[in-house]
Amino acid sequence: MTRLAGLNSNTLELHLMPLRDLETWMWTEACQILDRADQLHRQFFRPVSIKADQPNWEPPIDIYQTAYGFTIMIALPGVRPEHLSVMLEHDHLIISGRRSHSACAESHILRLEIPYGRFERRIDLPAGLFEISTCELTNGCLLISLRKT
């Protein structure tokens, strides 16, 4: 057994503990960077040939399965109800619309992280028949309940 001068097993454990914390912190940071890169990729890296009437961003969603179907929450802060469309087509739920930019002409943009313009989110549904039972825009989130028929 090799012994390090001045270190016993208790001191060695104390010296290694910060390395575990550092490793956890590094993995957490790496995962957050990957998530942010994925968001930026979806938001900004679109083919150059996109026309003005095509969507240029996708809103984030949460999907919950219930005993009766699905509940879907779509984050759409700043989107007016009249600029929103929800369609159920075969095995897809399609949410589309537009978020308008509210900056006045005299302002200079210092930072622009919120996506604006036309959006669309297509959600694949499992096999079966569904109908929209509720669709409500509250506190910047669109809450949709799908019921199995």
**Higher per-residue pLDDT: 112 or 76:** 76
**Residue 54 maps to a domain:** no
**What range does the domain containing 121 cover?**
61-104+116-148
pLDDT at residue number 52: 60
Tell me whether residue 84 is in a domain: yes
What's the whole-number mean pLDDT along residues 78-98? Answer: 94
Cα distances (angstroms) measured from residue 9 to each of 12, 16, 50: 5, 11, 63
Specify the number of domains making up the chain: 2
pLDDT value of residue 79: 95
Mean pLDDT score of the chain, rounded to an integer?
82
Residue with tokens 């699905």: 70
Residue 44's pLDDT is: 63
* Residue 15 falls inside a structural domain: yes
pLDDT of residue 48: 47
State the Cα–Cα distance between residues 12 and 10, nearest whole angstrom.
5
How much is the pTM?
Answer: 0.64
Looking at per-residue pLDDT, the higher value among 9 and 56 belongs to: 56
d(CA 76, CA 142): 7
The CATH number of the domain holding residue 99 is: 2.60.40.790
pLDDT, average across residues 116-145: 94
What was the pLDDT predicted at 113? 85
Can you give the pLDDT at residue 131?
94
129-145 average pLDDT score: 95
Residue 96 in this model has a pLDDT that exceeds 80:
yes
Same domain, 87 and 127: yes
